[in-house]
Structure 1
Amino acid sequence: MSEAVHTSPLAHLDGSHDAAELSISISEVADRGMIDLRGEAGSVKFRQAAKTALGIDLPLKPRSTAVKGDVTVLWLSVDQWLVCCPRNKAAGLVDKLRKNLDTLHSLVVDVSDARAIIRLEGDNAREVMMKGSSIDFTLPDYKTGLVRRLVFAEIAALAHIVTDKPCTIDIYVFRSFADYTWKWIEATAKPAATIGLFGARSE
């Protein structure tokens, strides 16, 4: 019997763009496993069981993340997290979580194929994000580690600020919107479309 072969949502494209062509660099993060984890954040038993499986405390503060080694946990809501890891480790983490949470009210689902991840890198990454949403990415608390849901280019998305300097932002969109999102960013991030961000003005 033949085995299923993973194909990334943007495999039909070259997968990257050089900053010379755009005001930023964009690329697909193609080898990331994603696990939808749900449970009661107020339960000590739930948090401890999840930590034992993941090796990291779940982030409890809204729009925050927790990172240890190659595992990153994104806070999505008061009872939901997105666990990110190398794709080849996702199945193992799912098994560990289900075993540890077996007797607790919880949900663990491998959603690695549900979303595409597009990475924006460069000084104009925040500008491009603001062209596609109503969110002000220049606010002081929009720094490394912040994650939030938003409407980007008229579709549901998730943004994660990976680093501040250089500015690196991952955009998570549902797989069926991957091609549309990539082309939207291509058009919006062209040097001719650069408008520059307003900053504090000197009197």
Structure 2
Amino acid sequence: MLEARFESPLAHAEAAANTYVSLREIAERGMIDLRGLASDKKFMAAAKAVLDVDLPKQPRTAATWGDIRVFWLSPDQWLITCPRARAQELTDALTKELEGIHSLAVNVSDMRAIIRLEGEGVREVVMKGTSIDLTHGDYPPGTVRRMRFAEIAALLHIVEDSVIDIYVFRSYAQYTWDFLRKAARKGSEVRVFPKAE
């Protein structure tokens, strides 16, 4: 009998060589799409009971507890990331805890690819594909933002000053990877972000 086997969107992608920032896929993260009303105290309490962290209520913010991260996506939507092996367990726990409360929790681990950029110059590389000015003080570590990146829908997470994760739909993973490999080629550096003192 055949068994389902997970294969990451970039399992067969050409390695990112000769780049001035490192690029790699984060394949081991699971993702849960959570919907509900931030104004509903029962919903917020039920989510916290499962996740051990308050859902962020402010735009472009994230909350972290252990290996769980929660990204604010809209007033009634959050993206929860966790180890892939825990995604279904957490989805089931949320569904059970939220029973009778206007809400929805869905395991969407296979929906998106996550590409991590690391090193000096990551903000400049990302800015080659978006109109967002990442040199602005509005983008400190922890910032989460939906954006148009290289003409496709993407989600930006600034993990640290020199570490950025880009989330794209699985079908655009190869396209995004190829764009980033070219944008980060040695010799194509554009130094617009000041070095930290």
Instruction: Report how many aligned residue pairs link the two structures.
Output: 195
Query: Per-residue deviation at 1:198?
Result: 5.9
Unpaired runs of at least 5, structure 1? none
What does residue range 37-116 of structure 1 map to in structure 2 within 5 Å?
37-116=34-113
Taking the aligned partners of 2:117 and 2:22, their CA distance within structure 1 comes to 6
Distance between the aligned counterparts of 1:139 and 1:100, measured in 2?
A: 40
One-letter code of the match for 1:101? L
TM-score by length of 1: 0.93
Q: Larger relative contact order (C-alpha < 8 A, sep ≥ 6)?
A: 2
1:195 partnered with 2:194: no
Which of 160, 164, 169 does residue 169 from structure 1 map onto?
A: 164
Residue 7 of structure 2 corresponds to residue 17 of structure 1: no
Task: Calculate the TM-score normalised by the size of structure 2.
Answer: 0.95
Structure 2 gaps, min length 5: none
| Aligned mates of 2:112, 2:193 — CA distance in 1 | 33
Alpha-carbon shift at residue 2 of structure 1 (Å):
2.5
| Further displaced range: 186-195 or 93-102 | 186-195
Aligned residues: CA RMSD: 1.4
Task: Kindly provide the amino acid, as one letter, of the partner of residue 6 in structure 1.
Answer: F
Secondary structure in 2 matching 1:61: coil
The ranges of structure 1 where at least 4 consecutive aligned residues each deviate by more than 4 angstroms after the TM superposition are none
SS at match of 2:187: helix
Task: Indicate if the aligned counterparts of 2:121 and 2:193 stay in contact, CA closer than 8 A.
Answer: no
**Preserved CA contact (<8 Å) 2:36 2:77:** yes
Tell me how far apart the structure 2 counterparts of residues 139 and 52 of structure 1 sit (CA, whole Å): 36
Letter in 2 for 1:170: D
Percent identity of paired positions between Structure 1 and Structure 2: 55
